Structure 1
């Protein structure tokens, strides 16, 4: 018998990747979804970023609250392209059920996003970090 993972981060990130890679709407907008961006990758794309995890236990239930960062990268003039990608990603995860292998998914909520322009020359790279909070429990 395989037990549920004690640390949820990997399972949650895998669930995020699986959902994004399977979305025909998202994949029509980006060149890829990666954990590590390949050499020569073309914009726009999404990167699975940093994660934090804290205990979210209740009585006899082992629970976790996992914060997952996604990074949207674009070279389009202005933020329109990156914001369109953000809209699709928010629809994929905010208040949506999520299949997290080995764990019971409690909830996923959109926490924040921010528009940024890379100041390095040529200064034409748009970046939107976005964070979601996912709560899971061991079954």
Structure 2
């Protein structure tokens, strides 16, 4: 089975970058954050895949982790960005090259305090189910 890692990453990042309400809140959505990028922003974390075949169909179940980074005092800004991520991804259509029957749902999120006391961080994971074309 061919992994969906790269096409899934491309689909998620493109979907987020095309979501105007999210992009109005952040300086960008990044795989690798450019130096001197102002907060807040969203980064792609890990993608984990598990084979999820059915009788005559080849499939995958994946977890996509995203990170929200903010310097706002408290979690209000990061939580607002999380809501925009959900509006863009949770139970929304997602076109992943080479796959059909793609569905995505918010799985969990965690508020974290960074070692830098000025930074607030929320990591969020989305569960994705995909069937190979």
- What is the number of residues matched between the two proteins? 133
State the 4+ residue runs in structure 1 displaced beyond 2 angstroms.
none
CA-based RMSD: 1.1
Q: CA deviation at 1:51?
A: 0.9
Partner Cα distance (1:128, 1:78) in 2: 11
Give the strand-richer structure, 1 or 2.
2
2:95 touches 2:102 (CA, 8 Å); kept in 1?
Answer: no
CA distance in 1, matches of 2:62, 2:80: 25
Alignment TM-score, normalising by the size of structure 1: 0.92
- Decide whether the 8 Å contact of 2:62 with 2:128 is kept in 1: yes
| Partner-residue secondary structure (3-state), 2:57 | coil
Q: Distance in 1 between matches of 2:93 and 2:52?
A: 18
1:130 aligns with 2:124: yes
Paired position in structure 1 for 2:114: 118
Contact map agreement 1:20 1:89 (CA 8 A) in 2: yes
Q: Distance in 2 between matches of 1:102 and 1:119?
A: 40
- Give unmatched runs, 5+ long, in structure 1: none
8 Å contact kept, 1:99–1:105: no
3-state SS, counterpart of residue 13 of structure 2: helix
Q: Post-superposition shift, 1:13?
A: 1.1
Question: Residue 20 of structure 2 is aligned with which of 21, 24, 42?
Answer: 24
**TM-score relative to the length of structure 2:** 0.96
Structure 1 distance, partners of 2:7, 2:125, is 16
